[in-house]
Amino acid sequence: MANYYEILDLDPRYHVAARELEERYHAKSKLHHPDRHVKADGTTRVKNALATAELNQAYRTLKDPVKRAEYLLKLHGVDVGGENSRQSHPVDPGFLMEIMELREELAEARGARNEARVDALASDVRARRDRAMDEVEEGFRGLGSPQQDGAGEAARVQAIAGALVALRYYHRFLEEIEVHEEQRATGAA
Amino acid sequence: MAYSEKVIDHYENPRNVGSMDKSDPNVGTGLVGAPACGDVMKLQLKVSDDGIIQDAKFKTFGCGSAIASSSLVTEWVKGMTVDQALEVKNTRIAEELNLPPVKIHCSVLAEDAIKAAIADYKAKRVKAATQ
């Protein structure tokens, strides 16, 4: 089966130009559009529907910088695991401890209605998230295409995996910040 | 996705939330994370000198199923011996809470947390004995 990059005729790289992605997607969508196949037989129509579903999935995955990174890493042989996946990438205990402390501090700050502290924690974690995104980008910049992975590139792939896992923890943290900010805005906090 | 009544009960009234002194030689601390979803779970067990778990506390930042799984195991392991606690399987947790397949990893996390806490406790004992 073709991978998402192949479906959209794109090079398997992390950097994907947004405009190119849009253009390819729209061109391919037209190809499978049901209006073009009204006279086709049942089998062809089903095939087209499946191709459209796959195309949409490919587009959604490659459009999102994090999902694209996770997908591309999988092509490089490392699966950091999706939301519902049981497969897991080992997490550094020191990092987990840091996350635990950050979450505890946020819970305390929220409980004490210390908004300045909440804001400080939010900008700290946003900066961490941005750094992790930069690490992902930099990591991929130094990688060749998935088939050409040399032995020296394993460390780079692992570093990207580590940054992607860290990102999940930062996103969870920032989700709580968002909830808090919404409550604050509506006066519920 | 609908949560089961038991999950909601533990989520709304979590048992044994809190922290114990990490440096207490009778306290084992287990810290585990689910990289797939970004959940983090801390489980602490206070073990008597004859190997009985006297108290258990947890702190979990994650979804309802992760909170319920950790809350449930803190209730279960109290009064158990360390060896009995090591026998607690995620399948029993998942069964008790009626977890759907996509949430099984939350029960795995709770099982791993018990094991990590006991490993920490045992490491402390070994260290104390050799000093």
A81 → closest Cβ in B36, B40, B61: B36
* Least Cα separation, residue B80 to chain A (angstroms): 27
CA–CA gap between residue B19 and residue B22 (Å, rounded):
8
CA–CA gap between residue A152 and residue A142 (Å, rounded):
11
CA–CA gap between residue A40 and residue A36 (Å, rounded):
9
Question: Does residue A5 carry a pLDDT above 70?
Answer: yes
Say what the pLDDT of residue B128 is: 86
Fold observed for domain A93-188: Monooxygenase (1.20.1280)
Say what the pLDDT of residue A151 is: 66
* Least Cα separation, residue B28 to chain A (angstroms): 15
pTM check: above 0.95: no
Which chain A residues are closer than 8 Å to B59 by Cβ?
Answer: 100, 104
Work out the average pLDDT over A61-77.
94
* Least Cα separation, residue B76 to chain A (angstroms): 24
Work out the average pLDDT over A134-142.
92
How many A-B residue pairs are in contact by the CB < 8 A criterion? 56
Between A29-43, A116-130, A143-157, B42-56, the lowest mean confidence (pLDDT) is in: A143-157
Token pair for B102: 């996509």
- pLDDT tens for each residue of A76-93: 888 887 654 445 556 788
CB contact, 8 Å: A83 with chain B? Answer: yes
Is the Cβ–Cβ distance between B53 and B28 less than 8 Å?
no
Say what the pLDDT of residue A86 is: 47
Token pair for A86: 């049981």
Work out the average pLDDT over B35-54.
92
Give the full edge-to-edge strand order of the sheet including B39-47: B27-34, B39-47, B53-61
Domain boundaries, chain A: 4-63, 93-188
CB contact, 8 Å: A86 with chain B? Answer: yes
Say what the pLDDT of residue A44 is: 85
Say what the pLDDT of residue A93 is: 84
- The contacts of residue A163 (CB under 8 Å, 6+ apart) are A132, A133, A135, A136, A139
Which chain A residues are closer than 8 Å to B35 by Cβ?
Answer: 80-81, 88-91, 165, 168
Interchain proximity B35–A82, CB inside 8 Å: no
Is the Cβ–Cβ distance between A68 and A61 less than 8 Å?
yes
Which chain A residues are closer than 8 Å to B61 by Cβ?
Answer: 100, 103, 107, 172, 176
Work out the average pLDDT over B28-50.
92
SS3 (DSSP) at A81: coil
- pLDDT tens for each residue of B85-116: 999 999 999 999 999 998 998 999 999 999 99
CA–CA gap between residue A46 and residue A36 (Å, rounded):
13
CA–CA gap between residue A22 and residue B64 (Å, rounded):
37
B40 → closest Cβ in A84, A99, A171: A99
- pLDDT tens for each residue of A160-179: 999 999 999 999 999 999 99
Say what the pLDDT of residue B27 is: 97
CB atoms within 10 A of CB A172: 19
Q: Which residue, among A168, A171, A174, A175, would best test binding to B if mutated, counting the most B CBs under 10 Å from its CB? A: A168
Which chain A residues are closer than 8 Å to B32 by Cβ?
Answer: 96
Is the Cβ–Cβ distance between B9 and A55 less than 8 Å?
no
**Catalytic residue positions of B, numbered:** 37, 106
Range A4-63: architecture per CATH: Orthogonal Bundle (1.10)
Distances (CA, A) of A170 to A40, A110, B35: 49, 17, 11
* Least Cα separation, residue B91 to chain A (angstroms): 14
Asked if A4-63 and A93-188 have one fold, the answer is no
Interchain proximity A86–B104, CB inside 8 Å: yes
CA–CA gap between residue A137 and residue A59 (Å, rounded):
19
